[in-house]
Amino acid sequence: MKICVVYDSEGGHTAALAASIAEGAQMVEGAEVFLQSVEEADVYQLPEMDAIIWGSPGHFGTISSGLKTWIDKLGYLWAEGKLINKVGAVFCTTATEHGGIESTMLNLITPMLHQGMVIVGLPGNIPENATYGSYYGVGVTCPIDSDEVLSENGAALGRALGERVALITRRFAQVI
- Site residues, ligand FMN (CB under 6 A): 9-15, 57-61, 93-96, 99-100, 142, 144
Rounded least distance, CB 154 to ligand FMN, Å: 10
- Residue nearer to ligand FMN on the CB measure, 26 or 103: 103
Nearest residue to ligand FMN by CB is 99
Query: What secondary structure does DSSP assign to 12-37, as a single string?
Result: SHHHHHHHHHHHHHHTSTT-EEEEEE
With respect to ligand FMN, which residue has the nearer C-beta, 137 or 170? 137
Q: Which is nearer to ligand FMN, 100 or 162 (CB)?
A: 100
CA-based nearest residue to 65, from 121, 10, 106: 10
Closest CA to 102 of 80, 128, 134: 134
Q: Strands, DSSP E only, in the chain?
A: 2-7, 32-37, 51-59, 62-63, 87-94, 118-119, 138-141
Spatial separation of the C-alpha atoms in residues 13 and 2, rounded to whole Å: 24
> Least distance to ligand FMN from the beta carbon of 15, Å?
6
The nearest distance, CB 151 to ligand FMN, in angstroms, is 12
φ, ψ dihedrals at 109, nearest 5°:
-75, -35
Taking the C-alpha atoms of residue 40 and residue 162, their distance in angstroms, rounded to an integer, is 20
Shortest Å, Cβ 102 to ligand FMN? 12
Nearer to ligand FMN, 9 or 169 (CB): 9
- CB-nearer residue toward ligand FMN: 99 or 133: 99
- Closest distance of CB 101 from ligand FMN, Å: 8
Q: Is 114 helix (H, G, I), strand (E, B) or coil?
A: helix
